[in-house]
């Protein structure tokens, strides 16, 4: 097919062959859909996406809650079980180690083979099983058992992220992808606020005199989590969740041709994606290292500061993190995401450097502000890395989620330096990660302006296809099958 034919096809998409978004939204308990089928979900408007996005946002809260508990458990296991900072980092290594295995193996395959719904359900079930494992680990007071339980939890959450992050990004108009994911992930930040408070007042209220009782509290907290996530899996089975396939994403990307210059390329030539993976790996490693040793930092630089006070201060810092996500997400309505990402990453570098030299309240304030400016980095790197992937969107998102395993690499490095040189000096480790991640938005602003800005001009999902809902309902709900999207387009142009 010639370039001229290609332009004709892209500029005149065959809306008669595309099922309606309204029809797909009305279809409940949908079985798994082949990624080679166009479902019409690529045309979902903001209003139509509110229900599915709100339901999936609950998963982000669960993720944030588990992550927030991880930071608290790290410090207090050092006290209750008598382990070093370096060994305590094994908890984070186990948790984020699951992120390396899941997305690159079974969870990435599940989302492509069975769709988002069944990936959500699978992730919730694995998460629930891991939460149940905390009970025998607490009974035996086994740090190795806790690490094993956290590894299973990490596998479950990585499976949820493999589906939830791309789903939020693509469920709705593409021009609002960054804003949508930032606002949804703000609920993850809320979970990280709740968890340290629970840890301070319920789990480890007095670890020096009630070590056994505090571990018993861990048992009951994770048992409640397991019951909740199993119930949520049932909800996702019955919920109306429109499936978005690779064919849908290719169809959507082709419709942005005039503004973005989109061309279908093989996965190995998606250079922005691979750069984003490296940036995400370094950023997540830095974020996890800071949060995991935040309480240690506070206790070190402010004499008389207790671990419980440090846990409360971590909750305040996580609240700033949540506020930052809401501010950044709202700002993306008017400010280009690539600008916001560069600004927030730059400020994170400045304040982590300041925290390395400050003392007392000044140091705690600087490190808390680092969490504020971290807020939008993960979701914005994620969505900007997926831009223009088309039919490779699901596979690309699996790769990006796997880069979260950076959280298993940086904390042990920081812990080792903290044991020998102190936590304040060890903050050079996350500083290094932020600097490497900072080069990604710099690259985007210098070399990817046209493509990224083109998606913000796209009208896909903003203006509904058709004149009325009745026009949508006249079309059949059945999906359109194709071998590959380019061949589908070629056949339509003939």
d(CA 183, CA 324): 10
d(CA 107, CA 92): 20
The set of residues, in sequence order, having a beta carbon less than 8 Å from that of 482 and lying 6+ positions away, is: 36, 37, 38, 247, 488
User: Is the separation of the CB atoms in 42 and 167 below 8 Å?
Assistant: no
Per-residue pLDDT of the chain (494 residues; tens, 9 = 90+): 444 443 433 344 444 455 555 555 555 545 666 667 777 666 788 888 888 888 998 888 888 888 777 767 766 677 777 777 777 777 878 888 888 888 888 998 998 888 899 999 999 999 999 999 988 988 888 888 888 998 999 899 899 988 898 899 888 888 888 899 998 888 888 887 887 777 667 665 554 544 555 677 778 888 888 998 999 999 998 888 888 888 888 877 777 767 677 788 898 999 999 999 999 999 999 998 998 889 889 989 988 888 778 878 888 898 899 999 999 999 999 999 999 999 999 999 999 999 999 999 999 999 999 999 999 999 999 999 998 888 889 899 999 999 999 988 998 899 889 988 988 999 999 999 999 999 999 999 999 888 888 887 777 767 654 443 444 443 444 444 444 444 444 433 44
H helices, E strands: number in the chain: 25, 2
d(CA 394, CA 33): 14
pLDDT at 240: 80
Q: Which of the 8 DSSP states describes residue 121?
A: H
Q: Which residues of 260-276 are buried (b: 16+ CB within 10 A; e: fewer)?
A: bebebeeeeebebbbbb
User: Is the separation of the CB atoms in 293 and 407 below 8 Å?
Assistant: no
Q: Which residues of 3-31 are buried (b: 16+ CB within 10 A; e: fewer)?
A: eeebeebbeebeeeebbbbbbbbeeeebe
d(CA 313, CA 320): 11
Question: Which residue from 381, 375, 390, 384 is spatially nearest to 456, judged by alpha carbons?
Answer: 384
Question: Which residue from 10, 4, 130, 113 is spatially nearest to 492, judged by alpha carbons?
Answer: 10
User: Is the separation of the CB atoms in 376 and 318 below 8 Å?
Assistant: no
E-strand ranges in 259-350 read none
The set of residues, in sequence order, having a beta carbon less than 8 Å from that of 265 and lying 6+ positions away, is: none
pTM recorded for the entire structure:
0.81
pLDDT at 3: 43
């Amino acid at each position: 097919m010639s370039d001229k034919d290609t332009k004709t096809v892209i500029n005149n998409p065959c809306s008669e062959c595309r099922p309606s978004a309204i029809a797909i939204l009305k279809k409940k308990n949908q079985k798994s859909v082949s990624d080679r089928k166009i479902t019409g979900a690529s045309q979902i408007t903001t209003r139509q996406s509110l229900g599915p996005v709100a339901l999936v946002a609950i998963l982000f809260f669960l993720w944030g809650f588990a992550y927030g508990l991880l930071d608290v458990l790290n410090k207090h296991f050092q006290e209750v079980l008598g382990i070093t900072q370096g060994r305590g980092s094994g908890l984070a290594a186990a948790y984020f180690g699951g992120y390396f295995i899941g997305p690159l193996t079974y969870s990435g395959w599940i989302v492509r083979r069975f769709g988002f719904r069944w990936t959500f359900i699978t992730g919730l079930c694995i998460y629930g099983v891991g939460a149940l494992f905390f009970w025998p680990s607490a009974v035996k007071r086994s740090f190795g058992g806790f690490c094993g339980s956290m590894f299973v939890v990490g596998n479950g959450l990585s499976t949820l992220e493999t589906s939830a992050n791309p789903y939020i990004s693509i469920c709705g108009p593409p021009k609002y992808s960054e804003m949508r994911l930032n606002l949804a992930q703000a609920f993850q930040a809320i979970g990280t606020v709740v968890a340290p408070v629970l840890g301070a007042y319920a789990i480890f209220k007095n670890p020096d005199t009630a070590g056994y009782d505090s571990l018993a509290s861990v048992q009951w907290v994770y048992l409640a989590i397991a019951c909740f996530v199993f119930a949520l899996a049932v909800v996702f089975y019955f919920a109306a969740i429109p499936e978005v396939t690779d064919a849908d994403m290719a169809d959507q990307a082709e419709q942005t041709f005039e503004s973005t210059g989109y061309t279908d390329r093989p996965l190995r030539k998606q250079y922005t994606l691979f750069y984003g993976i490296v940036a995400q790996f370094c950023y997540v490693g830095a974020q996890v290292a800071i949060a995991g040793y935040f309480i240690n930092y506070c206790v070190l630089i402010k004499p008389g500061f207790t671990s419980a006070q440090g846990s409360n201060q971590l909750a305040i810092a996580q609240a700033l993190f949540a506020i930052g996500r809401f501010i950044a997400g709202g700002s993306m309505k008017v400010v280009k995401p690539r600008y916001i990402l560069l600004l927030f990453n730059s400020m994170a570098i400045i304040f982590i450097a300041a925290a390395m030299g400050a003392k007392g309240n000044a140091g705690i304030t600087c490190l808390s502000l680092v969490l504020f400016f971290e807020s939008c980095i993960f979701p914005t790197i994620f969505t900007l890395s997926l831009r223009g992937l088309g039919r490779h969107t699901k596979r690309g998102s699996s790769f990006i989620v796997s880069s979260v395993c950076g959280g298993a690499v940086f904390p042990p490095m920081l812990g080792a330096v903290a044991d020998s040189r102190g936590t304040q000096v060890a903050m050079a480790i996350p500083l290094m990660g932020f600097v490497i991640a900072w080069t990604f938005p710099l690259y985007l602003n210098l070399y990817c302006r046209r493509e990224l800005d083109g998606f913000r001009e796209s009208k896909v999902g903003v203006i509904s296809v058709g004149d009325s809902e009745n026009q949508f309902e006249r079309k059949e709900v059945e999906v359109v099958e194709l071998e590959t999207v380019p061949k589908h387009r070629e056949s339509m142009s003939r």
